[in-house]
Structure 1
């Protein structure tokens, strides 16, 4: 079986009524899939989706494509596979209804055979609806890849090969391989299946064969147990994979084949050793992430997903939580390749809604199909170790909610008993009806705002007898109990529930030092997932820092006022740039000895601020500021040390004990003067490590491609900066940059500025802290040239070869 890309020749426009005709304002425009129909819509403060989507509106969209159906397809089976359409996808072929899929994250297949006009041009159309159906930015339309499947009537089923390795030792691993064959003919068919396991160098590691007979209109599963000698295991530090080829033949003539990647690995879980992968205890250094890809919008493209996973891995994370929806295939493939462990999440709601038109509508009828779709997608990915059945489910603390917990958990175990089941439990959210009326009223409109103001009271409530008793049954059905913002339960549950394994499924970013100490101290706590590892569109301003003396300032809780677009709470910003919080976390993880200098913006020195629990300080790792010499400035140094000495051009500024205002931080009050700022960390009286920041020289506009070469169907990233000739950025000289692309297409352009009215679909953008990111899509082999221009600077060009 081969998936043929079905991504060109599409157009999209607003869905019209049956008696409406298109005009210039509603005309369809050509697009290349995957495509996000929401990203470039005009934003406004009164957008019906509001702060949840970053003030980007929803809509109803219609995609259309015409294609030839050659006469030779008469003896074939023809289908189209959609990896994801957000949301409520309705598919028509030649004007006739063909399929409907309500779940915006589930892959589905449309059988074209009943509708095709062979030897003619055919039309397929897909409708998608987005309207107040999520608490974050979902994007809209056909945002994941589409494939055409043209097969013999007797063929290998889509995702029909499953490889499981349970019996593993140093001598050999037994691969249990099952392959499903489908028969669309009117006759019984007998075929032969041959399986071949190869290593990454092409060497054959095992083979097997079996005949399989399939009755008309049915399917049959063929199985084999294959021994791989001296197996190379898949793990976080050595993500080795084998390839399992299934070949179907008819009397010696090959008729279909598929290749499935497989990582051989052992998972163990208990309260003594925590999580073990291949016998080695692993603490999950986790990042929650949403599914959008920054300036690209909510599209899943293999190169973008691979880049995100690679950068998260380089920042010290070894696990991600796909919040609060199933991950894309491309993301899981990247996690397999980079050794990133995955918690894949089913949904944000069950039967009780959080927004007006969310997926709680119809959940009781659809949930088994949703679980099956997630498992079918994940089953062959060694990176997936945890299935999460939900996030902060409202009904979880009731008897009926516990029944749903058990029902969904058992469905996962029935379909895939090889992985562990968890759930992101928030005991406060689950008990809103039993908490104080004031808290319930606040949470009804915005649960995040409620949580932002509660502090220590929230910790006490999460460890209360009410939460303990009301969530016990829902927690008991899980292999790993996920707690959102409930680290106050870690020690308590070791006493109350000695067999309970816990993961911090969602935690506040500024508490990582104490949270990670808990993970290291308590064997039954297997990891921590921060909110969030990577910034995202929507939940706008949830992690912002407000200066409360600003004219017209009005407190708005976690809801950032228009024109906030981004959440502004990631360790890594929307462009892929690591922020000071990321380096602080790396130090807290024990992965970094070099200190980090984080400078509070001198222009705001001394101003009062308001933050949320998801905020970091408004700091930048820079000593280049448009501020007069002698301006007061606050400098933080992050270090795993006893003391830090700060020097400016070799002169001692001060020496401060580490630990204030928070763990691993030394804070200095000094004055800004251009030069070289150096931090020296010491422990036990001896220097541990040092780091420096230098003031930038003459500013230049530069453009640098992350990779000099990309594939013809790939995308490339170009960082455009205002910096000196050594690459040191000018943070206070931001200005609009225009970008022109030849030999390819500008797919997205934007900066990390959270509060902006600029569009990622524009050809110009204003730098933020000296940088902006251009993303280009390759066409045919050749060369892409990306030229940036800005007033007062010479143009800058980056060149990418397309192979």
Structure 2
């Protein structure tokens, strides 16, 4: 640009002024800090004059239930994790600059569990029963400006129990935002992006924007949108002049053509962004960014799922929303860690069982490459628990489903809308059209907001009388379990594409093994009968030999899943253990046994089974450990891939070569235990692929700390520290249960501690934890930059120290 100096200066000043005006038009800021909290009720705590000086100070997100002791008398029951709910209040004092007057100010809640009511300066803004949904309130009419203080108060009533079949958490457990906009702005969740025509050469992108005019007069604005690729290069622009009615909204649609688009996939999750500006009289008054991906997909009735024209088996897991020792309080790093663990296993899909997820989960799935089944409801009008969502169904289901779809429809990771899980209305008798009518309504709501993705319900009784499947209202046929019926599903139900919405329900305790390994236990023997032949220590075997009667083992399921082409995908119950639903045991079990990964994030042996089937990375995993009674008969298993055979040695003596045949997914040796070294060698074409050794461990002698990240950011970022109890030679002691005391210096704090044991009654918020089968976990965070030092000690063991840099 060869301009005279004065023109260049003027141009720079113009750009600066424009940038400044844009920055002032829309501001979305975290509203999480400096809240006051009280567990219990109080007299008029919503009042601006209420004295909350004695209340606890904290930052959000916050789950108060996870801080409470496990309690066998809790009305949540063990299904809810034996952690109490209750009623709590939150208050926050804040000011709004005088320059904000004339603008709109909203408070956005990503999720509050449950029955929330929000007040601003004593005025009730509304109630929201659903504990999983995101919602917004307009604060503008009630705000004070300048130095005058504002009081926002939130009542959270989770006292009526049971209201959930799993651990829900309690409180403002997701993020809160304060959004300030001009009086003409892009509405809440006000953009909708679709890519109706995509191939390798070009992609048609359609963007519909809803513009809100809060002013008392009509107006005309310019809506300008630019599309940017991942390098911030503009790949498309469009501008529309539109009339905006007073105190109302209007929609405008823009179309773009991206040449040679980078397609979003699970292996290369490429993201674009659309930046939409609203200009009035040439001035930018709002700017709104929408992240999106370009991809196309289809479900073939006979051949399964295709993404961007290529066949892709959807290999997914179901997960509840708790994050182990963090409880239900959402944390982006904790979610990212879970997804990283699952990705490394070969998982490429997530089912948000059985509710709208935290927005951060979908953001991460967009960035990391996961297909998502976004689920809305666990029940409709008929109850599963006395105080669950059925009480609010008539008044709220349309609003809640609408908000979910509008919030989530721009995420490229979202591929399927599930409108119900194991709905009681499945069993409607002939002539009872309740369930059929509800299903048609729900599908209609979804399609009116987004017709680019298929709908499904998750059916656990796909028999000929199933009222929902008979309706033929959804795009996909979804089965929960019933793996022996998958081959006939598309013939039975209208020849529609088929997906397994839930599968497996195997039961495992990390590091525990019941022999013989080829004797399968169905615990309990029937779903409605008590368990009669349980292990006294409330464990389940980590071999592939323990599962629920309605489910199957991992191997039983995989053998069917991998060979049926028309099964487009499946979602395993579950990726991670979760708090609540401690099947098959009653109290004092308080968390699930279903996970491929335990509550602390430590993989169980089945993790390596999936890794050997679902990935191309070389795998050789041998189980169990090698600490047994002399002379005891032990079944040794190996999961492997990229090899023809595995040979096992004990103290240098070969126990023979084993090869998988037919649909085998592991090989086994039955041998007699002698202390020493167990070595497995996998070979391909006679060449060694991998070698793995397991040694008999001696007495616990030392602590070793392994940090997932030695540098974290100040604030909500986390470092997950694995604590290993080892013998003097560095072997993990597989039955160690030493109590480890943690100490932090340098300003850090503990977000939680855990060990993955389903029956531990220790607090997740303590500064110590007993190891379970040799392992436990400490989760560290820090409020300010510097260096944090974690020291772990235990009587009789050598201590360990690790440093974490906080940026």
Verify same fold: TM over 0.5: yes
- Residue of 578, 582, 586 corresponding to 1:560: 586
Question: Deviations along 1:506-541, whole A, 9 cap, x unmatched?
Answer: 11145343433433433321112111111111112x
> What residue is the counterpart of 1:712 in the other structure?
714
Q: Determine if contact 1:642/1:683 at 8 Å carries over to the other structure.
A: yes
Q: 1:477 & 1:204 partners in 2: Cα distance?
A: 41
Q: Determine if contact 1:2/1:258 at 8 Å carries over to the other structure.
A: no
Q: 1:307 & 1:421 partners in 2: Cα distance?
A: 29
Moved more, 711-720 or 303-312: 711-720
Q: 1:731 & 1:198 partners in 2: Cα distance?
A: 52
Does 2:733 match 1:730? Answer: yes
Question: Deviations along 1:333-387, whole A, 9 cap, x unmatched?
Answer: 1111111111111111001111110001121221111111111221111111011
> What residue is the counterpart of 2:151 in the other structure?
123
Q: 1:476 & 1:628 partners in 2: Cα distance?
A: 58
- Residue of 499, 503, 522 corresponding to 2:499: 503
Q: 1:503 & 1:27 partners in 2: Cα distance?
A: 53
> Which SS does the other structure have where 2:598 is aligned?
coil
Does 2:354 match 1:358? Answer: no
Q: Determine if contact 1:341/1:385 at 8 Å carries over to the other structure.
A: yes
TM-aligned CA distance change 1:725 to 1:235, over 3 Å: farther
- Residue of 725, 743, 752 corresponding to 1:748: 752
TM-aligned CA distance change 1:108 to 1:168, over 3 Å: same
TM-aligned CA distance change 1:761 to 1:175, over 3 Å: same
Q: Determine if contact 2:106/2:138 at 8 Å carries over to the other structure.
A: yes
Moved more, 41-50 or 639-648: 639-648
Q: Determine if contact 1:718/1:798 at 8 Å carries over to the other structure.
A: no
Deviation at 1:292, TM superposition (A): 0.5
Q: Determine if contact 1:659/1:666 at 8 Å carries over to the other structure.
A: no
Q: 1:678 & 1:422 partners in 2: Cα distance?
A: 47
Q: Determine if contact 1:283/1:519 at 8 Å carries over to the other structure.
A: no
Moved more, 698-707 or 649-658: 649-658
> What residue is the counterpart of 1:598 in the other structure?
623
> What residue is the counterpart of 1:267 in the other structure?
297
Q: 2:45 & 2:269 partners in 1: Cα distance?
A: 54
> What residue is the counterpart of 1:449 in the other structure?
none
Moved more, 376-385 or 773-782: 773-782
> What residue is the counterpart of 1:323 in the other structure?
353
> Which SS does the other structure have where 1:39 is aligned?
helix
Deviation at 1:725, TM superposition (A): 8.3
> What residue is the counterpart of 1:63 in the other structure?
90
Q: 2:479 & 2:53 partners in 1: Cα distance?
A: 47
Q: Determine if contact 1:709/1:802 at 8 Å carries over to the other structure.
A: yes
Q: 2:490 & 2:453 partners in 1: Cα distance?
A: 23
> Which SS does the other structure have where 2:329 is aligned?
coil
- Residue of 747, 761, 782 corresponding to 1:757: 761
Does 2:650 match 1:648? Answer: yes
Q: 2:596 & 2:90 partners in 1: Cα distance?
A: 36
Q: 1:177 & 1:713 partners in 2: Cα distance?
A: 35
TM-aligned CA distance change 1:238 to 1:27, over 3 Å: same
- Residue of 565, 576, 579 corresponding to 1:537: 579
> Which SS does the other structure have where 1:3 is aligned?
strand
> Which SS does the other structure have where 1:407 is aligned?
helix
Q: 1:799 & 1:747 partners in 2: Cα distance?
A: 17
Question: Deviations along 1:606-636, whole A, 9 cap, x unmatched?
Answer: xxxxxxxxxxxxxxxx33x3x5555543322
> Which SS does the other structure have where 1:370 is aligned?
helix
Does 2:36 match 1:11? Answer: yes
Does 2:74 match 1:72? Answer: no
Does 2:793 match 1:792? Answer: no
TM-aligned CA distance change 1:786 to 1:498, over 3 Å: same
Q: Determine if contact 2:608/2:619 at 8 Å carries over to the other structure.
A: no
Moved more, 27-36 or 346-355: 27-36
Deviation at 1:252, TM superposition (A): 3.1
Unaligned runs of 5+ in 2: 1-25, 507-551
> Which SS does the other structure have where 1:800 is aligned?
strand
Report the number of matched residues.
722
- Residue of 560, 567, 578 corresponding to 1:518: 560
Deviation at 1:168, TM superposition (A): 1.2
TM-aligned CA distance change 1:319 to 1:769, over 3 Å: same
Q: 1:3 & 1:325 partners in 2: Cα distance?
A: 25
Q: 1:64 & 1:230 partners in 2: Cα distance?
A: 51
Q: Determine if contact 2:315/2:346 at 8 Å carries over to the other structure.
A: yes
Q: 1:108 & 1:584 partners in 2: Cα distance?
A: 41
TM-aligned CA distance change 1:725 to 1:481, over 3 Å: farther
> Which SS does the other structure have where 1:395 is aligned?
helix
> What residue is the counterpart of 1:618 in the other structure?
none
> Which SS does the other structure have where 2:464 is aligned?
helix
> What residue is the counterpart of 2:181 in the other structure?
151
Q: Determine if contact 1:396/1:474 at 8 Å carries over to the other structure.
A: no
Q: Determine if contact 1:594/1:690 at 8 Å carries over to the other structure.
A: no
Does 2:320 match 1:290? Answer: yes
Q: Determine if contact 2:76/2:85 at 8 Å carries over to the other structure.
A: yes
Q: Determine if contact 2:373/2:418 at 8 Å carries over to the other structure.
A: yes
Q: Determine if contact 2:425/2:467 at 8 Å carries over to the other structure.
A: no
Does 2:381 match 1:381? Answer: no
TM-score for the superposition, normalised by structure 2: 0.84
TM-aligned CA distance change 1:251 to 1:523, over 3 Å: same
Q: 2:30 & 2:655 partners in 1: Cα distance?
A: 61
Q: Determine if contact 2:317/2:351 at 8 Å carries over to the other structure.
A: yes
TM-aligned CA distance change 1:748 to 1:590, over 3 Å: closer
Q: Determine if contact 2:36/2:52 at 8 Å carries over to the other structure.
A: no
> What residue is the counterpart of 1:739 in the other structure?
742
- Residue of 103, 115, 129 corresponding to 1:88: 115
Deviation at 1:773, TM superposition (A): 1.6
TM-score for the superposition, normalised by structure 1: 0.85
Moved more, 315-324 or 729-738: 729-738
Q: 2:182 & 2:108 partners in 1: Cα distance?
A: 16
Q: 1:478 & 1:294 partners in 2: Cα distance?
A: 34
Does 2:611 match 1:586? Answer: yes
> Which SS does the other structure have where 2:735 is aligned?
coil
Question: Deviations along 1:237-280, whole A, 9 cap, x unmatched?
Answer: 11000111112233333222121111100011221331111011
Deviation at 1:26, TM superposition (A): 12
Q: 2:229 & 2:92 partners in 1: Cα distance?
A: 40
Deviation at 1:20, TM superposition (A): 10
TM-aligned CA distance change 1:44 to 1:376, over 3 Å: same
Q: 1:801 & 1:19 partners in 2: Cα distance?
A: 45
- Residue of 398, 415, 430 corresponding to 2:449: 415
- Residue of 93, 108, 126 corresponding to 1:99: 126
Q: 1:83 & 1:791 partners in 2: Cα distance?
A: 44
Q: 1:648 & 1:758 partners in 2: Cα distance?
A: 38
Q: 1:340 & 1:724 partners in 2: Cα distance?
A: 40
> What residue is the counterpart of 1:617 in the other structure?
none
Question: Deviations along 1:430-458, whole A, 9 cap, x unmatched?
Answer: xxxxxxxxxxxxxxxxxxxxxxxxxxxxx
TM-aligned CA distance change 1:19 to 1:102, over 3 Å: closer
